[in-house]
Amino acid sequence: MSAIALKLVEAPVKVEPVPVKAAAVPAPAPEPALVEPATRPGERLREVLRVVIPPLFGVALLIGIWALVAIKSGNIPGPDKTWVAAVKLFADPFYQNGPNDQGIGWNVLSSLQRVGIGFGFAALVGIPMGFLLGRFAFMNRMFEPIISLLRPVSPLAWLPIGLLVFQKADPAATWTIFICSIWPMILNTAQGVQRVPQDYLNVARVLGLSEAKVITKILFPAVLPYMLTGIRLSIGTAWLVIVAAEMLTGGVGIGFWVWDEWNNLKVEHIVIAIFVIGIVGLVLETLLLMIAKRFTYESR
């Protein structure tokens, strides 16, 4: 096919060079000019669509099923009703009408604060513990049965102990966060310490670095990516647990708010809360992944 086409083009060129050139030049000239800029943005657009379209379909599917379920059940508010309620709710997220009636912003912030405090204490205890367990086999064997025993326990089982010890709801909730955050922190840090490449430790030995230098220049940077994984897992679990803990303890917080709205039978607010909890969790996860990316070294 192409051979025939070539012959057809060649033949008139030889016979009548001038008019054919004049005719041929404008014909192929705009072609590459058109093709080049047209395909490049076109491809980029296709690339963007390839990334954007599937998630949009996913969201649409979710909303569709939700709307169907809402119509069928009658009790559950549909997307439209929820949207109207959300617009009203987010118009004033930071109002304060006494301790039991505050804006959703305050509720989210106080939950985040609890997570922050509980997680902070867990990091303070868990990271040094992880270093000890990773560095000394004896410590590792000593704590292994304790950790294996306590780790599978639901953090909420610790809530009554917290209530008993602290005599107040707020520190008890924080205590639950502490308990659920500490295990991933210890285990990941310990694993990181154990996985520091022997080469790096040999370098330290050959250079004769002091113990302080070994920790700051070799151990800490080598363990940091593992530690950040531990932190990410901890915060993820903490955010899961805080909602349940607050339902039990009350006060200000997104978990309590969900329970309160259930008692008020404002189901559309519960649906909004589910979205808010999900989005906050997603943002936390993304932030920590970004930090982890910053501190991951390509070692090869």
Partner 1 sequence: MKPIVKIENVGQTFSTKSGKFTALRDIDLDVSEGEVVTLIGHSGCGKSTLLNLIAGLTLPTSGVLLCDGREIAGPGPERAVVFQNHSLLPWMTCFENVMLGVERVFGRKEGVPKLKARVAAALDMVHMDHAMHKYPHEISGGMKQRIGIARAFAMEPRLLLMDEPFGALDALTRAALQDELNGVMAKTGATVVMVTHDVDEAVLLSDRIVMMTNGPAATIGEIVEVKLERPRDRLELAHDTRFADYRAAVFEFLYRKQLKAA
Any contact of residue 166 with partner 1 (CB under 8 A)? no
* Location of structure tokens 């953090």: 155
In this chain, which stretch among 51-59, 92-100, 116-124, 207-215 interacts with partner 1, using CB under 8 A?
207-215
Any contact of residue 156 with partner 1 (CB under 8 A)? no
| Residue 242 and residue 115 in contact, taking contact as beta carbons nearer than 8 Å | yes
Q: Using the minimum distance from each CB to partner 1, give the nearer residue, 7 or 300.
A: 300
Kindly state the tokens that stand for 290. Answer: 């970004």
Query: Dihedral of CA 92/95/101/106: which sign?
Result: positive
Any contact of residue 282 with partner 1 (CB under 8 A)? no
**3-state secondary structure at position 96:** strand
**Over 167-219, what HEC string results?**
CCHHHHHHHHHHHHHHHHHHHHHHHHHHCCCHHHHHHHHHHCCCHHHHHHHHH
- In the list 66, 121, 200, 262, the residue contacting partner 1 (rule: CB under 8 A) is 200
**3-state secondary structure at position 103:** coil
Q: Using the minimum distance from each CB to partner 1, give the nearer residue, 203 or 280.
A: 203
- In the list 87, 206, 212, 265, the residue contacting partner 1 (rule: CB under 8 A) is 206
Q: Using the minimum distance from each CB to partner 1, give the nearer residue, 40 or 213.
A: 213
In this chain, which stretch among 41-49, 102-110, 131-139, 198-206 interacts with partner 1, using CB under 8 A?
198-206
Q: Which amino acid is at 143?
A: F
Count of residues of this chain found to bind partner 1 when the rule CB under 8 A is applied = 18
Kindly state the tokens that stand for 226. Answer: 């593992």
167: burial class by Cβ within 10 Å (0-12, 13-18, 19+)?
exposed
Any contact of residue 199 with partner 1 (CB under 8 A)? yes
Site string for partner 1, 213-242 (x = CB under 8 A): x---xx--xx--------------------
Q: Which residues bind partner 1 (CB under 8 A)?
A: 199-200, 202-203, 205-209, 213, 217-218, 221-222, 297-300
